[in-house]
Amino acid sequence: MSSTTAGQKGLEAVKNKQWAAAIPLLDKALEDSNSPKWLLARAQANQQLNNLEAALQDAELAYHTAAERGSGDSRKNMIEAQYRRATLYFRLGRYADSDCCAKWSMLLAEGRPAGENDGVEKNVDENGSYTVTYEQGVADKEGQPGKGEGGNGNALSLASGSNQKTGFEADWNRAYAWRTQTLGRLKNLPADHPGRKVNVTKIPARPEKRKAEQKPVQPVEDSDSEDEVVPAKPTAPEPGSVPDEKMKLRIDYYQSNQNVTISVFAKDLKKDELKVEFSSNSVRISPIPREAAPYVVPGSREATLTIIFGGEIVPEGSRWSATPRKIELVVQKKAPGVKWPTWGEEKIGEWDGATGVVSNIPAASSSPPAAKENIKTATAPAYPTSSKSGPKNWDKLEVGDDEEKNSDPNAFFKHLYKDATPEQQRAMMKSFIESNGTALSTDWNDVSKRKVEMIPPEGVEPKKWDP
């Protein structure tokens, strides 16, 4: 197979997100040429396969080779190389370096000279910490291309610094959006975090040409045909290779005087296979599929989720339901009316706080001795209700009992909002509005960092309304 054919097949594999299949093809192509386009494609594939250092070397070499060629797609490739550096430094936890590279990508997209001494990396204090703020980054639109009147990015308009079209408007917007994400992360870092330090230069040191690593790869037919590339099956990580923090799931909750409702989000849940076991202060759920650990199988440590509640519950008064994407737990508070400060804590595997292993968790249908005694002495069942007065015994309800007939149907939400902290109120407003009224969270640390997705009830298909 010629290097040109291998390069074209490699580009196609990257376009189709066939990352593992793309690597050997691009390795073959780059044996004969340092094409910036091929280097950037291999950098993207390596980034997706978490080979971050190799990806960074490819992006830096692509910048140099594009600058040396100085024609055709050179500026486009240099813009892409700086943007790729920005995403890689972010993944490496070097957030200040990431923002610098994103800014350089924007300046190139504006048509600024590649060799210009813009001083981006010099925005540091006496300790070497980056000083550009999130607010400054959001407001940094002065050079945005395409905002002037007419023009097509000719040399005169670029030299004059006017906001004419450069042909790289989309690249500028992409880098600008990346800066907001990076500076948002920087905003919440401790002052002494190493990610605040600037260690990057506009023109990177030229790396040596990297030799292809000798790893088993997907066999590729030695021909010049344009047959579809079959992706190699990625190797699953070894158990224990993914840190627990990266495996943890997204969890939302809200509470009333009687209950706490906890939503656990995961993909490809199988309700018929789920085992949910409540105890007085925790719940154990398995098997749980985890995107961060594709090797998880039922019975493995990673397939078990333990939630340590923020307060004590009544196991026999608690219940659960599940859809393919969510498990909902409705747990009954042992102390009605007491507000939990948080839903609790997620643990991977089985846990009891002392030995690290949950032991003797009663099944959902069983009850501790005291609870069993209460069940025996109860004269009639009490059912869940949204009433302020708690569960009702409907067998004893008198006909004239119209306590809730004239009550406000939104009273519960008003009460919940009124008693919440300002941070919880912001979380409630954001989650309720962004999810179109299908989710309600009081965890600002969670919802402030993402858009809350709409979660319709099971069996309901959301449809966009066009007025």
Residue 335: CATH number of its domain: 2.60.40.790
CA–CA separation, 43 and 38 (whole Å): 9
Res 155 pLDDT > 80: no
Write down which residue in 329, 362, 385 finishes a domain. Answer: 385
Q: Quick check: is 275 in a domain?
A: yes
Percent of the chain at pLDDT exceeding 90: 30
Output the average pLDDT for the chain: 76
Give the pLDDT score at 352: 56
Structural domain containing residue 312: 244-385
Confidence at residue 74, expressed as pLDDT on a 0 to 100 scale? 87
pLDDT of residue 368: 37
Can you give the three-state secondary structure of 400-413, one letter per residue? CCCCCCCCCCCHHH
CA distances from 37 to 14, 87, 217 (A): 11, 17, 22
Last residue of a domain, one of 385, 404, 427: 385
Residue 203 lies in a domain: no
Pairing mode of beta strands 344-348, 305-309: antiparallel
Do 131 and 259 fall into the same domain? Answer: no
Is residue 257 within 8 Å of 388, Cβ to Cβ?
yes
pLDDT (average), residues 202-218: 63
Non-local CB neighbours of 56 within 8 Å, separated by 6+ positions: 43, 85, 88, 89, 92
**C-beta of residue 187 within 8 angstroms of C-beta of residue 134:** yes
Same-domain status, 167 and 22: yes
**Residue where the block lists tokens 């006909």:** 399
Residues 7, 145 share a domain: yes
Distances (CA, A) of 288 to 9, 252, 293: 37, 17, 11
Mean pLDDT within 255-263: 92
Six-digit token pair at 208?
């040596």
Asked if 166 and 279 sit in the same domain, the reply is: no
Q: What is the dihedral of CA 179, 205, 110, 152, to 10 degrees?
A: -140
Domain boundary among 335, 370, 385: 385
Domain shared by 131 and 270, yes or no: no
Q: Which of 3, 80, 56 is nearest to 34 (CA)?
A: 3
Residues 161, 143: contact at Cβ < 8 Å?
Answer: yes
pLDDT per residue as tens digits for the range 297-342:
777 788 888 999 999 999 999 999 999 889 999 999 999 989 998 9
- CA angle at 95 for the pair 89 and 101, rounded to the nearest 5°: 60
DSSP 392: B
Dihedral (CA of 196, 201, 207, 212) sign: positive
Three-class SS state of 38: helix
In the predicted model, is pLDDT for residue 257 greater than 70?
A: yes
For residues 148 and 277, state if they share a domain. no
Q: CA–CA distance from 153 to each of 143, 160, 168, 173, 443 (Å)?
A: 13, 11, 9, 16, 47
Residue 425 lies in a domain: no
Residues 177-209 pLDDT 10s: 999 889 988 888 888 899 999 999 998 888 876
Task: Return the minimum-mean-pLDDT range out of 143-147, 151-155, 349-353.
Answer: 151-155
**Strand order across the 344-348 sheet:** 275-278, 282-286, 305-309, 344-348
Same domain, 50 and 151: yes
CATH number at residue 79: 1.25.40.10
In a domain, 450, yes or no: no
Q: Which string of b and e fits 98-123 if b means at least 16 CB within 10 Å?
A: bbbbbbbbbbbbbbbebeeeeebbeb
Q: How far is the CA of 377 from the CAs of 97, 266, 373, 393, in angstroms?
A: 67, 40, 6, 14
- Is residue 442 in a domain? no
Q: How many CA atoms lie within 13 A of 195 on its CB side?
A: 20
263 and 156 co-located in one domain: no
> How many domains does the structure of the chain reveal?
2
Going by DSSP bridges, is the β-strand pair 250-255/313-323 parallel, antiparallel, or unpaired? Answer: unpaired
In a domain, 381, yes or no: yes
Does residue 289 fall inside a structural domain? yes
Structural domain contains residue 183: yes
Q: What are phi and psi of 447, to 5 degrees?
A: -75, -20
Task: Tell me, yes or no, whether 185 and 249 share the same domain.
Answer: no
- Are 272 and 171 in a shared domain? no
Residues 79, 94 contacting (CB under 8 angstroms)? no
Read off the pLDDT of each residue in 222-236 and give the average, rounded to a whole number: 38
At residue 370, the pLDDT reads 36
Q: Which residues contact 409 (CB under 8 A, 6 or more apart)?
A: none
- Given pLDDT bands bounded at 50, 70 and 90, which one contains residue 351? low
Both 14 and 99 in one domain: the answer is yes
Same domain (yes/no): 281, 359: yes
* Angle between helical axes of 52-69 and 74-91 (0-180°, round to 10): 160
